[in-house]
Homo-oligomer: A and B are copies of this chain.
Amino acid sequence: MRATDLPQVRALELFARVSESAFDSLVQAAYLQTFPAQLELIAEGDTADFLYVVVDGCVELFAKSNGRESTIGTVHPGGTFILAAVLKDAVYLMSARTAQKSRILLIPSEDVRTAFESDEAFARSIVVELARCYRTAIKEHKDIKLRTAVERLANRLLRYHQDQGARGNVELPYDKRLIASMLGMTPENLSRAFNTLKPYGVDVQGSCVSLSDISSLTRLAKPNPLIDDRDT
């Protein structure tokens, strides 16, 4: 890794209170690489050789079975993926591909486990991150099991709306194909779900969605902090 890249890596929450020596041995054998969009980084079933940390861009986690494929989630700057597999020294349960051009830090698994044992602060960061991943997964699971497709879309729109400053319109952060897969439906059905939401003030123009009746959309969505809030 080049010396000029170090500050950006050091600034990641994951390394916030880590000692100099532990940080040095973590990044010493690590790679910071830029990948183009749509590149498959890992495949489910592979052994966990590296921990991946997203520095810039966005990564999609997905899984296949029986010829079907589904998106499990996305990872943003500061987030890690495949952490549990690295800690357990097990195989990956998910595949990952870049959703956009992305800068990603790869740390050899062995070094992660070593630093985990030797550095208190790193261990604590790892646990906090793992707990966050777990709770995110549980929320996703509740979303899928307790809501219909239209409700999931409505709540996701409200979330993006909040994220983007609640200005009455939303820029979809991903392809519709990817959004559909995250929400557990087909692209065709996402299209129809948008139509279903038209009477609730939802108008789609390409990747820009205007929300002209938030209160009515909210009544339909019935958002639940124990599913939709990101950091509870």
CA distance A141 to B93 in the complex (A): 11
Among A150-167, those with CB < 8 Å from B are 151
**Which of A4-12, A170-178, A205-213, A222-230 contacts its partner?**
A222-230
CA distance A68 to B147 in the complex (A): 8
CA distance A91 to B131 in the complex (A): 13
**Which of A22-30, A50-58, A121-129, A193-201 contacts its partner?**
A121-129
Q: What is the size, in residues, of chain A's interface with B at 8 Å between Cβ atoms?
A: 50
Q: Which chain B residue lies CB-closest to A63? A: B142
Say whether A145 contacts B226, CB under 8 Å: no
Q: Which chain B residue lies CB-closest to A228? A: B65
> Can you tell how many copies of this chain the complex includes?
2
Q: Would you give the shortest CB distance from A78 to chain B, in whole angstroms?
A: 16
Q: Which chain B residue lies CB-closest to A70? A: B145
Residues of A bordering B, CB below 8 Å: 44-45, 63-66, 68-70, 72, 83-85, 87-88, 90-91, 93-94, 116-117, 120, 123-124, 126-128, 130-135, 137-142, 144-147, 151, 184, 222, 224, 226-227, 232
6 additional contacts, CB 8 Å, given A72-B142, A72-B145, A137-B141? A63-B142, A68-B146, A70-B142, A88-B131, A91-B226, A94-B138
